């Protein structure tokens, strides 16, 4: 593969994703607000942009992997935003977990300037990004999706096309994350109940994760919660709360009650109040233990 691409956002996920593009033979220009985070990529041959806008070239492709709607919008809109920089024929490949509404808004904004917005959020933790094993969901204009497909193939193991609505991929991403955090809450409550009843939590997890719940999601979070291995965070509590709040917002917009999301939101807020913002979002299990009166070592 011989192409140039910009990449903005080098956090826990963005860094290995950008590295995968370098390994695939692309010329990658990177930008991150904390400049030092780009150093591992510069060693591998990446170029450093002086600003987010400079990571984009006229008619080119720029990937964004940023924290939230506000960050994405601020990068995109305005005289010095990505849409203006890309211009006619350019593609903005947004891989962040953001709301469907911001994707639709930015897609329209790009279209007015001759560029195209494609949503392609990902499923997978940093270790899966490092192994190029992400699952990617994509939506947007067919021609633009075809053009970015080599990038997606370099970063992920499988891509699922949700059609032309630029917000569709974001809906699926939020639904998926909602189901994941609901599973984490169920594991947390179940293990707290077992432990308070005198059972060994590791034995309970071993039985369930090898039989009734023998799938990677449950196996991974059983292991994390049993060991209480919430640091370093694969996905921080603060970001998890943001995603749950996006689920609640989507539920309100579509008139779909999501009572589990409300409960998990409160669980995350309680953990943030206890200073756990930087722990992995599976640390909501600590709240279940505290509610049960179980001493946390």
Strand-pair partners of 31: 8
Catalytic residue among 173, 196, 242, 295: 173
Of all helices (H) and strands (E), which one includes residue 6? strand 4-8
Environment class of 211 (CB within 10 Å of its CB; exposed 0-12, middle 13-18, buried 19+): exposed
| Residue partners of 232: CB distance under 8 A and separation at least 6 | 280
Q: Are strands 134-138 and 122-123 parallel, antiparallel or unpaired?
A: antiparallel
Cis peptide bond upstream of 232, omega within 30: yes
| Residue partners of 242: CB distance under 8 A and separation at least 6 | 67, 68, 97
Residue 145 designated active-site: no
Lay out the sheet containing 122-123: strands in order across: 122-123, 134-138, 156-161
Identify the CA nearest to 91 among candidates 54, 51, 145: 145
- What pLDDT is attached to residue 1? 53
Tokens of 190: 């179940």
Environment class of 111 (CB within 10 Å of its CB; exposed 0-12, middle 13-18, buried 19+): middle
* Structural domains of the chain in order of their starting residue, each with its CATH number: 4-165 (3.40.50.720), 171-291 (1.10.1040.10)
Answer yes or no: are the C-beta atoms of 272 and 238 closer than 8 Å. Answer: yes
Identify the CA nearest to 138 among candidates 163, 155, 157: 163
pLDDT tens series, the chain, 297 aa: 557 899 999 999 999 999 999 999 999 999 999 999 999 999 999 999 999 999 999 999 999 999 999 999 999 999 999 999 999 999 999 999 999 999 999 999 999 999 999 999 999 999 999 999 999 999 999 999 999 999 999 999 999 999 999 999 999 999 999 999 999 999 999 999 999 999 999 999 999 999 999 999 999 999 999 999 999 999 999 999 999 999 999 999 999 999 999 999 999 999 999 999 999 999 999 999 999 999 987
Answer yes or no: are the C-beta atoms of 100 and 173 closer than 8 Å. Answer: no
- What pLDDT is attached to residue 3? 79
Strand-pair partners of 61: 91
- What pLDDT is attached to residue 167? 98
Tokens of 297: 């070592």
CA distance 141 to 6: 20
Query: Is the pTM above the cut of 0.85?
Result: yes
């Amino acid at each position: 593969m011989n192409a140039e691409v910009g990449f903005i956002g080098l956090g826990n996920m963005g860094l290995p994703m950008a590295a995968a593009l370098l390994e695939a033979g692309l010329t990658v220009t990177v930008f991150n607000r904390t400049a030092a985070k780009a150093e591992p990529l510069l060693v591998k041959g990446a170029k450093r942009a002086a600003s987010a806008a400079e990571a984009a070239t006229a008619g080119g492709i720029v990937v964004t992997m940023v924290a939230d709607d506000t960050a994405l919008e601020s990068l995109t809109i305005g005289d010095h935003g990505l849409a203006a920089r890309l211009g006619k024929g350019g593609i903005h490949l947004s891989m962040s977990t953001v709301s469907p509404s911001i994707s639709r808004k930015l897609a329209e904004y790009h279209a007015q300037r001759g560029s195209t917005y494609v949503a392609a959020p990902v499923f997978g933790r940093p270790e899966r990004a490092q192994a190029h094993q992400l699952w990617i969901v994509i939506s947007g204009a067919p021609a633009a999706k075809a053009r970015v497909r080599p990038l997606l193939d370099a970063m992920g193991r499988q891509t699922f096309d949700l059609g032309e609505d630029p917000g569709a991929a974001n809906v699926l991403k939020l639904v998926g994350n909602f189901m994941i955090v609901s599973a984490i809450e169920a594991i947390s409550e179940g293990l707290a109940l077992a432990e308070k009843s005198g059972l060994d939590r590791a034995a309970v997890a071993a039985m369930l994760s090898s039989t009734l719940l023998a799938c990677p999601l449950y196996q991974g979070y059983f292991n994390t919660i049993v060991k209480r291995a919430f640091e370093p965070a694969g996905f921080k509590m603060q970001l998890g709360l943001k995603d749950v709040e996006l689920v609640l917002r989507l539920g309100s917009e579509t008139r779909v009650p999501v009572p589990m999301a409300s409960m998990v939101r409160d669980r995350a807020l309680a953990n943030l109040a206890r200073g756990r913002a930087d722990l992995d979002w599976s640390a909501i299990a600590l709240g279940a233990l505290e509610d049960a009166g179980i001493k946390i070592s």
